[in-house]
Amino acid sequence: MKNIIAAFLLSVIPLVANSETKIEWGSHERDSVTYVEMVASPTHFANIVIYNNLTPIEYEVEFMTITFNDYEFNIRYEAGDRDLPDVVTVIAPPGFKAIPPTISISERDFGVIEIHQLLLF
């Protein structure tokens, strides 16, 4: 019975991959993977790239953390019900600023939040 419960839980857990700089969930088989990824930028500290793809999730709010160059960036991901846009907010650590801090992303679309390092004197 425990094996059946464990198999069921593994099948419904939305997180399918989690590295320090990328978090994704959904189904590769159904081409419905949504992800949040932090990548270096040549003009500022980094970009947080979000791809919103029709994952079979009703409205929910998830909190996640991405570590990039030893800094932790907290992300609030609000998945819109069905085909409503998702809303993503980045809370940057001290010394950094997310521009813009919140964006709305339609289904099957990308969004980018820039991360700028502040010069503190």
Q: Mean pLDDT in runs of 10 for the chain (121 residues)?
A: 40 43 75 86 95 77 92 92 89 97 94 93 68
| pTM more than 0.75 | yes
Which amino acid is located at 41 in the chain? S
Instruction: Name the residue ranges covered by the structural domains of the chain.
Output: 2-117
What pLDDT, on a 0 to 100 scale, did the predictor assign at position 28? 65
Residues whose CB falls within 8 Å of the CB of residue 54, separated by 6 or more in sequence, listed in order:
32, 83, 107, 108
What pLDDT, on a 0 to 100 scale, did the predictor assign at position 29? 63
What pLDDT, on a 0 to 100 scale, did the predictor assign at position 38? 95
**CA distance linking residue 93 with residue 110, whole number of Å:** 24
Please choose, from the candidates 78, 76, 75, the residue with its C-alpha nearest in 3D space to the C-alpha of residue 59.
Answer: 78
What pLDDT, on a 0 to 100 scale, did the predictor assign at position 2? 43
What pLDDT, on a 0 to 100 scale, did the predictor assign at position 7? 40
What pLDDT, on a 0 to 100 scale, did the predictor assign at position 39? 95
What pLDDT, on a 0 to 100 scale, did the predictor assign at position 24? 82
**CA distance linking residue 13 with residue 41, whole number of Å:** 32
What pLDDT, on a 0 to 100 scale, did the predictor assign at position 31? 66
